[in-house]
A and B are shown apart, each in its own frame.
Chain A
């Protein structure tokens, strides 16, 4: 597969990645390190909470999404990271045993105004479990190197 540069991302492109299995052990291991709340650590406490059972930290879900897209296309691209995330919504709990897939949609692209070597592609990443329930949606501009340098606006 040829390496992907900024020019290769076109608004309207939609690609799916995954699935990835989420285990109870991984949910608890991530939570112990970064989000030690009972609903992410302990089955009994989680059952008694608002969420009704053990579920992954939202940060864990974001991180799993990242790994799916890194393996899916980022490692095969001229990725230069991302300045941030416009919005993340956690729509449904991610449970042990879930197999998660990500649908990556390119919303828009633009060249950098200040740097001729790079551009931005704004993505929406929708994450689904095997039942087809959308568990997370996230909108973020990703930065990629350009195959050919462009003009820079003064």
Chain B
């Protein structure tokens, strides 16, 4: 992670892509969101969605996975160059989560993240709060998912 001072509003990072299979859509939904249109192809075909589609929580969680993987890769590269890596802490929350289109079996979603807000935190000296909008776009170019999440990031020491 960059230090808080090195992050700028508007910075955009491509997080990578994920193709949703029927098996993983149903596996996630059986654990956490077993509505028929997420677990049963025939019932989903009769629903307003028209076909099996991923739980919105699944779509968002995959974006989180790609976000963490990207950050880990970037931090490994920084360490390899001998650079300092900033710590990051917990997230106080997120807002404006939008599931704008269904994610169907076989859809490939491209995730990206853009910095939208930077705030020093009076109650946590040494930390800043970074807000980023994550979006997911399907293979047709349609945005299927968006959310603005916040995370505490370490300020540059000294």
**Chain A residues close to B by CB (< 8 Å):** 33-37, 39, 49-51, 57-59, 62-64, 66-67, 70, 74-75, 79-90, 93
Contacts and interface: CB of A to CB of B under 8 A. Distances in A.
**Chain A residues touching B, majority SS:** mixed
Contacts of A93: 90
B152 A50 contact: yes
A2 B152 CA distance: 46
B46 to A, nearest CB: 13
Given A36-B68, A59-B57, A75 B34 contact: yes
Contact of A75 (B35, B69, B72, B97): B35
A138 B47 CA distance: 26
Contact of A81 (B94, B96, B99, B152): B99
B155 to A, nearest CB: 14
A58 B95 CA distance: 13
Interface string B107-123: 00000000000000000
Contacts of A34: 61-62, 64-65
A35 B32 contact: no
Given A66-B33, A67-B33, A35 B61 contact: yes
A84 B90 contact: no
A35 B91 CA distance: 12
Residue of B48, B57, B98 most packed against chain A (CB within 10 A): B57
B56 interface: yes
Contact of A35 (B57, B65, B94): B65
A63 B33 contact: yes
B95 A39 contact: no
Interface string B3-42: 0000000000000000000000000000111110100000
B31 A79 contact: no
Given A34-B65, A88-B93, 16 more contacts: A33-B61, A34-B64, A36-B69, A37-B68, A58-B91, A62-B57, A66-B55, A80-B48, A83-B98, A85-B95, A86-B97, A87-B93, A87-B94, A88-B94, A89-B92, A90-B92
A39 B152 CA distance: 14
13 contacts: A34-B64, A50-B152, A63-B33, A66-B32, A81-B37, A81-B56, A82-B56, A82-B99, A83-B100, A84-B98, A85-B97, A85-B147, A93-B90
Contacts of A90: 90-93
Contacts of A88: 93-95, 97
B106 interface: no
